[in-house]
Amino acid sequence: VWPTPRDPDLPRGDPNERATVTIVSEGGFDLLLSADAEAPVLLPLALPRVDAMKVPHHGSEEDGLPDLIERLQPKVVAIETGRGNPYGHPRPGTLRALRAVPRVYRTDRDGTIELTVSGDRIAIRTHR
């Protein structure tokens, strides 16, 4: 979805503005993988509603996350962050925004998060 191939206007400064944003689809299931792209990159994109998503940028403070969550309406999110990381991720504002999501997983607490899709059923297993 982003960045567009060989875009001459691709931002040159912050590498997060060039982060790869992908939708993985299987049948009726959609997963948003946003790497470290944040709201200024994600909100202008024509993204569909998704069943699951990886929270952008390890759960850093993100003013646009509530709007993104409202628009995408994921049922499951995963925050990829290390235990005791020096950045304090996931940040409190991010966790508040994620209260709107039914199932929130964090690698710092839950370990590896395995998502399996079969038909319209999503199964989650965690491995510490």
Which pLDDT belongs to residue 10?
64
Whether the CB-CB separation of 115 and 52 falls below 8 Å is answered with yes
pTM: 0.87
3-16: pLDDT as tens digits? 777 666 666 677 67
pLDDT digit string, tens, across residues 81-114: 998 888 888 999 999 999 999 999 999 999 999 9
The structure tokens listed for 103 are 């199932």
Return the SS3 of 110: helix
What's the whole-number mean pLDDT along residues 65-77? 96
What is residue 50's predicted lDDT score, i.e. its pLDDT? Answer: 97
